[in-house]
Amino acid sequence: MNRLIAFIFSTLLPLQVLADEITVGVASNFLAPMQEMAAAFKAKTGNTVNLASGSSGRLYAQIANGAPYHAFFSADQEKPALLIEAGLADTNSLFTYATGSLVLWMQKTDGDPYEALLDNRISRLAVANPQLAPYGVAATQVMDMLFVGETSLAELVLGENINQAYQFVMTGNADAGFIALSQLAANDVLPPGRGWIVPPNLYDPIRQDAIITNYGKGNKMVNDLFEFVKGEVAKETLLRFGYITD
């Protein structure tokens, strides 16, 4: 009997270890703050949050095709709503965790990014693909509002997500680019260049929703993570990274 009990406990132990970990899909713009919050969550609970980052469109497609993500932190409201519509996520878990801000960043330090955009003096402009990334949608809205969309369209350097657009700018593969304010806030020292924080009236609010998928529904650790993200520690992190929380 003792051997039987020992065998049962030895087979259950790996399950317990697995139960202490979850995997969360995170939109590219939110990776850095989510890494901080995942570390704080682990320090508090001992539980590990594994992060899979990419464009919201790519992560949505992966979840729709059965990827084992317990939750999804999107860069928009559309993708979580589509998961609900498809019966792939828990409606009651849906909430807006942050609102993002857009920045036009230019590597040159002797010019004004806003004026360079208006005068069509940016030869290579990095933008996240608007078909996949909400920040790309916001960037195209800004260009449309400023009547520079048509003149700049042929010169766009498209990134699959906002992180790739950021890399294009910082590596010199683009002269300037529309990036997330959170990406600049993630740096202890600002990279060389100048930025223009785009007025929020030039694009639709980038409200970012999170949702628990059917794969994560009923998982206590996922529920605990969502409560943690709604708390004061997470709010301080969000504000420091340039997000609007109310």
**pLDDT tens figures, 30-78:** 999 999 999 999 999 999 999 999 999 999 999 999 999 999 999 999 9
Query: What is the tens place of the pLDDT at every residue in 74-101?
Result: 999 999 999 999 999 999 999 999 999 9
Mean pLDDT of the chain: 88
Residue 121 lies in a domain: yes
Asked if residue 133 and residue 94 are part of one domain, the reply reads no
Query: What is the tens place of the pLDDT at every residue in 95-134?
Result: 999 999 999 999 887 889 999 999 888 889 999 999 889 9
CB atoms within 10 A of CB 146: 14
The tally of domains found in the chain comes to: 2
Residue 20 lies in a domain: yes
Distance of alpha carbon 70 from the chain centroid: 16
Asked if residue 93 and residue 6 are part of one domain, the reply reads yes
Longest dimension (CA), the chain: 82
Asked if residue 234 and residue 154 are part of one domain, the reply reads no
Asked if residue 91 and residue 36 are part of one domain, the reply reads yes
Residue 173 lies in a domain: yes
Asked if residue 188 and residue 112 are part of one domain, the reply reads yes
Asked if residue 145 and residue 65 are part of one domain, the reply reads no
Asked if residue 170 and residue 189 are part of one domain, the reply reads yes
CATH number, domain with residue 217: 3.40.190.10
Q: What is the pLDDT of residue 189?
A: 63
Residue 18 domain boundaries: 2-99+207-240
Q: Which residues contact 129 (CB under 8 A, 6 or more apart)?
A: 55, 57, 136, 158, 159, 160, 161
**Tokens representing residue 178 in the block:** 């529309």
Q: Which residues contact 11 (CB under 8 A, 6 or more apart)?
A: none
Residue 246 lies in a domain: no
Looking up tokens 């828990």 gives 90
Buried/exposed 87-125: b ≥16 CB within 10 Å, e otherwise: ebbbeebbeebbebbbbbbbbeeebebbebbeeeebebb
pTM for the whole thing?
A: 0.82
Give the helix/strand (H/E) hosting 104: strand 102-106
Asked if residue 24 and residue 107 are part of one domain, the reply reads no
Query: What is the tens place of the pLDDT at every residue in 178-193?
Result: 999 988 887 766 778 8
Asked if residue 87 and residue 9 are part of one domain, the reply reads yes
Residue 133 lies in a domain: yes
Asked if residue 129 and residue 175 are part of one domain, the reply reads yes
Residue 30 lies in a domain: yes
**Tokens representing residue 205 in the block:** 């609010």
- Give CA–CA dist 4/27, Å, rounded: 46
Provide the 8-state DSSP code for 120. T
Q: What is the pLDDT of residue 5?
A: 40
Please provide residue 26's backbone torsions phi and psi, each rounded to the nearest 5 degrees. Answer: -130, 125
Query: What is the tens place of the pLDDT at every residue in 143-164?
Result: 999 988 655 555 789 999 899 9
Provide the 8-state DSSP code for 123. S
